Amino acid sequence: MFRQLITGLVLSQLMLIASPFHSPAPKVVYGSYIMTPEVAAPTREAHQRSRTFLTLDRPFATQGKVDSNTLARCENNVAQVFDILPATHVEAIKNLTLSFDPTIRRGLAGGNTLILRCVNVPNDAEMIAVLVHEIGHVVDTGLLNASKYDLKTKFVDRGKVVYSSDPSTKLYGVSWENNRSLKGMKRDFVSGYALESPYEEFAETYIMYVLHGPLFRLYAAHNKVLKMKYEFMRDVVFEGVEYNFASEKLPPILQVMDRHYDATRLDYGLESFLALRGSTDS
């Protein structure tokens, strides 16, 4: 299996769109967002209670020094997520790197390239959440592409104009004028970090759809804009598949307008999510 250090060639092709991964904890930029504390130490995860580790059935690169147990843990996490998400989403990842460099961001993705940091992450739940977020970027910028060069939009992806036949523009255009200018309200986004750019909104909306379906549907029931965004994910991105596992305790109605800053640090039911492996009904 190909496991070599990924070079600057891949990194130079990568659009650095990701959560604020290098910072130990996100800073509050919007007063109504709830900050989820970062876990201080790793917890015992489901995979640690099992002696069976999944392996990836595709080539991937590694970055940095790693022992066999740490590599097996990371590969197992990635393989489980790949088994759960739609095959087309996973197949869009052409260049995969599992990084064991503690100094890089938790994840980086763009186009068909994805890098996941597998060390200095508090627990498997967060590692998997970061991976899902990053797959969202690949789906957005590597899978959902324009079918033809038709009308130009005001959105630019890695220096190239995004055309109106790109399905992602249907989500971008709900709350964005262009890459930088919002036309929506803060409560129309699933998280604080989704306000960073249309591309971060896509990835945050993607992870909320997969890992926090009940919460996302609660938001959508009280917000017409988020209802549109949920339906875009359901109908366009996931082709009717919805995720109904018990992901978390839902907030009281008075808090339904509150948002967490970073969806990758929002608690969810890890074991319930991983139990979706091999299930035809999510």
User: pLDDT of 159-180, one tens digit each?
Assistant: 999 999 999 999 999 999 999 9
Q: What percent of the chain has pLDDT over 70?
A: 79
Distance (Å, whole) CA 152 – CA 155: 8
Alpha-carbon distance of 189 to 187, in angstroms, equals: 5
For 85-162, where are the alpha helices, taking DSSP H only?
A: 87-91, 124-138
Fold of 8-274: Collagenase (Catalytic Domain) (3.40.390)
Give the DSSP letter string of 57-76: SS--EEES---HHHHHHHHH
pLDDT score recorded for residue 82:
98
Q: Which two tokens stand for residue 155?
A: 């959105």
pLDDT of residue 36: 36
Provide the greatest CA pair distance for the chain.
54
Question: Which residue numbers in the chain have pLDDT < 70?
Answer: 1-51, 246-247, 253-254, 279-282
Which residue, 120, 143, 144, 141, is CA-closest to 130? 120
Q: Tell me the backbone φ, ψ of residue 137, rounded to 5 degrees.
A: -65, -40
What are the φ/ψ torsions at residue 97 (nearest 5 degrees)?
-130, 130
The pLDDT value given to residue 282? 54
Neighbour count for residue 172 (Cβ, 10 Å):
23
Alpha-helical segments (H) within the chain = 8-12, 68-84, 87-91, 124-138, 169-175, 198-211, 213-221, 224-232, 270-274
Residue 65: CB atoms within 10 Å: 9
Six-digit token pair at 60?
Answer: 């991937």
For residue 94, the model assigns a pLDDT of 97
